Each structure stands twice: as C-alpha cells, then as structure tokens.
Structure 1
Amino acid sequence: MSGQRRPDDAVSGLPAGLSARPRDARRGLPIPPVNVHDGPDGLRVDSTTINTTISTELALARRCSLCGGPMGYWVAFLGGPGAAELLRYTDPPGHAECMTAALSLCPHIALARHRRARADRPGGGMIPPGSHGEKPEKYVLGITRSYRTEFVPSHGFSVYLPAPFKSVHEYEYGPDGRLVTTPRAR
C-alpha cells in the first residue's frame, strides 16, 4: 500500500467538530451539514451547493456551517475580497478553525484551477442566486463578534452581514496553483 493515501490521511489535524462529522466515502473528507440535501431517494450529499434552508437555520442558531457546533464569541466568514469589502456574504459563517481547515480541504478553494461542476452534470450544483459565479483570485478570512442574517424571499436564500472584522487574513494562490495557507494579515 506504499504511496497510496488512506481517506483519514486527508483530514488529520482537523478541529474536533469537523473530525466528528460523517465522511465522504470517496475522499474521506468531512461532510458539512450545509452540503446535505433532500433528494427523491432520501438525503444526498452535494459539495457543490449549499442547502440554503440548513445554512439559514444554522446561522440563526449561531451554529457553525461546517461542523454544526455552537459558535462561541468569535465568528468567521470566508470569501473573496469583494464580499469582505462589502461585508456581505452568501456563504454562512463558521468557527475560525473550521473555516481555516476549509482552505486546504475544499478542492474548489484550495486549487486555483478547480472549477464548480456545471449544473447539468449529475451532482453538479447550481450557482447561488445573487452570485456572479466567478472564483476570487484570493480568499479573505474575516473574524468578528456578531452578524445579521437576512432572508431574500425573491431569491429564496439568505445573506449574512458581519459586523466590522476585528482581524482579517488573506490567502493567495502560489505559483503551483495551490492556495498558500499561511495567512497574510491586513
């Protein structure tokens, strides 16, 4: 078995909440509650889309979107520079530790060339309403104490409005196309 990775190897050193989540059989990655959807044959996992009902419920209950655990004093938001500048996110908040883990675990974030699956492909998610669908050139992790959740009935999803960030960390892609997970504070 030399040279082969076990699924657990991909997730060593995870925050406890993420470590306790059910795992994707193919990659061994934790399955966030926001990626579980109702399907015709029961629950299904779709890592390319966010279940807006679950994400809104978690945010309103001040629970992490990635592990489902209660968030304490600090709350983190992860997105592109535009979302950080506007303090307006379509992706829900989570623990800073869980969001930091997502930087290396989520292929869409971790790899510059990784693209969202087309909606017409099996398992391909839809781009959330109000999103332009373009991948940011870098990611910004902002940490704050509070936020508001506003439901947008015309689009059927929520937006998350954090209070001004107390700390901000930027992550850019290196020459190899991988996100450099050593943050640059700004």
Structure 2
Amino acid sequence: MTRPGPHGGVPDLPAGLAARPRDARRGLPIPPVNVHDGPHGPYVDFTTLNITASADLAAARRCSLCGEPMGYWVAFLGGPRAAELLRYTDPPGHPECMTAALRLCPHIALARHRRARPDRPGSGMMPPGSHGEKPERYVLGITRSYRTRFIPEHGFSVFLPAPFKAVHEYEYGLDGRLNTSPRTR
C-alpha cells in the first residue's frame, strides 16, 4: 500500500483523484460516494457508500471515485463472484481510478484489514444480500457499458456491466499485501 507523503500527497494518482479533497488523518482522496449528509452537515465515512450519490454518478456516467465524466471504458472492482455474475453493489469508475484504489484503500490493499464491527459508530452498513466477507482476490473488469437497477425492497442499486473486454486479477502475497501486478485474461 502506498503511504501518503509528508504533505498528504499520494504518488501516481490519476488527475481526477489528485484533485479530490483529502482525508486529514491519512491524506487519501475522498471519493464522492463516501460523503454523506448528516444532521450537522456533510461527513466522510469510508466504510459506507452513499447510495444516492452512487446511483446519481452511475446514471450520469461519472466515476464513483473522482466524480469526473467517464470516457469510453469503465471499470468495476469486486470479488470473483461479482465478476462471474456481472453484478456489483459498488458503482463503476475510471479504470485508472479503480486501479489506484487497489493500493490506496486499506480494506482492499491489506488481506487482514477488516471492516469495523457493525456495533461501532461509523462502521458502515452492508447492503442487504451482501455476505460481508472479504474476497480472497480482487477482479478489475473493464467494459464499455453497464446498466443500473434499483432494488426497491432493499433501497439500493446494483450495477450490471456488459461483458468485460479485459479482466485483471489481483491476489494477496505471502506478506498479506495485494499484488498490484495483475494476472490478465
């Protein structure tokens, strides 16, 4: 995992992510899907997706991580089962932003990094139907198009990519860190 520099800078960020506001504690860019409305104004929760922002960004074909318009290719990041089913609870983003998330997000980058316990404040909420277990590896799928389907009985959207044109698989090494050199198929 890349650590922030002395002034909160993170090397090798795509321009859209580099322009995002930063988390004061870690210096990491704050994705628009992690900004929530609260009784005292907006707050950041990295453990929970703002489902309204997620759906709005996807509908406008904007990256869930940097908020900028997506071009021809879009990427989805998740476990092997999500890739197999072509069904994601996390919205799409630029391939470059999703690749950066592999090194920046501690939950993804470190095998033993776990989500906060559900009884802790700020622990986030798992979408209905999610099992909450971390995948043994991550799959980054790149495609041209996708559909969004709102699931009214659960109050959130799922994202349904078209078949992937490229697939990159990332596995954890013996040191417990995600190997950022993918196996491509």
Does TM-score exceed 0.5, indicating one fold? yes
Whether contact under 8 Å (1:7, 1:27) holds in the other structure is: no
Please identify, of 42-51 and 121-130, the stretch whose mean Cα deviation from structure 2 is larger.
Answer: 121-130
Aligned-pair distance for 1:129? 1.6
Q: Deviations over 1:67-115 (max 9, x none)?
A: 0000000000000000000000000000000000000000000000000
Partner of 1:13: 12
Aligned-pair distance for 1:5? 4.8
Amino acid at match of 1:44: Y
Match of 1:8, SS state, is coil
Amino acid at match of 2:78: G
Aligned-pair distance for 1:171? 0.1
- Aligned equivalents of 1:128, 1:177: Cα separation in 2: 26
- Aligned equivalents of 2:123, 2:38: Cα separation in 1: 14
Amino acid at match of 2:139: V
Partner of 1:155: 154
Amino acid at match of 1:42: G
- Aligned equivalents of 1:175, 1:7: Cα separation in 2: 31
Aligned-pair distance for 1:12? 1.2
Runs of 4+ with deviation above 3 angstroms: none
Q: Deviations over 1:153-173 (max 9, x none)?
A: 000000000000000000000
State the percentage of identical aligned residues.
80
- Aligned equivalents of 1:162, 1:130: Cα separation in 2: 19
Match of 1:140, SS state, is strand
Cα-Cα RMSD = 1.1
Q: Deviations over 1:138-183 (max 9, x none)?
A: 0000000000000000000000000000000000000000000001
Aligned-pair distance for 1:7? 4.7
Distance 1:5 1:61, change over 3 A: closer
Amino acid at match of 1:60: A
- Aligned equivalents of 1:98, 1:39: Cα separation in 2: 27
Unmatched tracts of structure 2, length 5 or more = none
Unmatched tracts of structure 1, length 5 or more = none
Whether contact under 8 Å (1:112, 1:178) holds in the other structure is: yes
Partner of 2:27: 28
Match of 1:149, SS state, is strand
- Aligned equivalents of 2:123, 2:45: Cα separation in 1: 8
Query: Does 2:109 align with 1:115?
Result: no
Partner of 1:87: 86
Amino acid at match of 1:8: G
Distance 1:84 1:7, change over 3 A: farther
Aligned-pair distance for 1:6? 1.8
